[in-house]
Amino acid sequence: MRVIALSTLKSFCDRDASKDAREPLLAWYRHAIRADWAAPADVKGDFCTASVLRDGRVVFNIAGNRFRLVVWINYPYRVIYVRFIGTHAQYDRIDAQTV
């Protein structure tokens, strides 16, 4: 898989309040670039706590659910687009389907 916006993940980790998300996010990234997800079931097979939404959106729990990562996956092209990364409280204030 190809992850678009690694810079977004890195800039999020550089903030003081989210430094403890760095290693879990990089672990997710390393796993995602080696994955070959052809369907939402493949994502659930790798990350059983991931929430699969409609239209290719997936929400991942990062660092023991302290952070949330929302991505849009283009399965035919094997591309993951980072749409949102934030704390659980910040995630509660957005609509994961439209962000």
Point out which residues pair with 57 in neighbouring strands.
Answer: 72
Residue 19: pLDDT band by 50, 70, 90 thresholds? confident
Separation of alpha carbons 85 and 96, rounded Å: 11
Q: What DSSP character marks residue 68?
A: E
**Phi, psi (degrees; rounded to nearest 5) at 94:** -115, 170
Note the pLDDT tens digit of each residue in 68-78. 999 999 999 99
Q: How crowded is residue 18: how many other Cβ atoms within 10 Å of its Cβ? A: 19
Q: Which of 71, 72, 68 is nearest to 91 (CA)?
A: 68
Report the predicted TM-score, pTM, of the whole model to 2 decimal places: 0.93
φ, ψ dihedrals at 19, nearest 5°: -65, -30
Q: At what angle do helices 22-34 and 6-13 cross, to 10 degrees?
A: 160
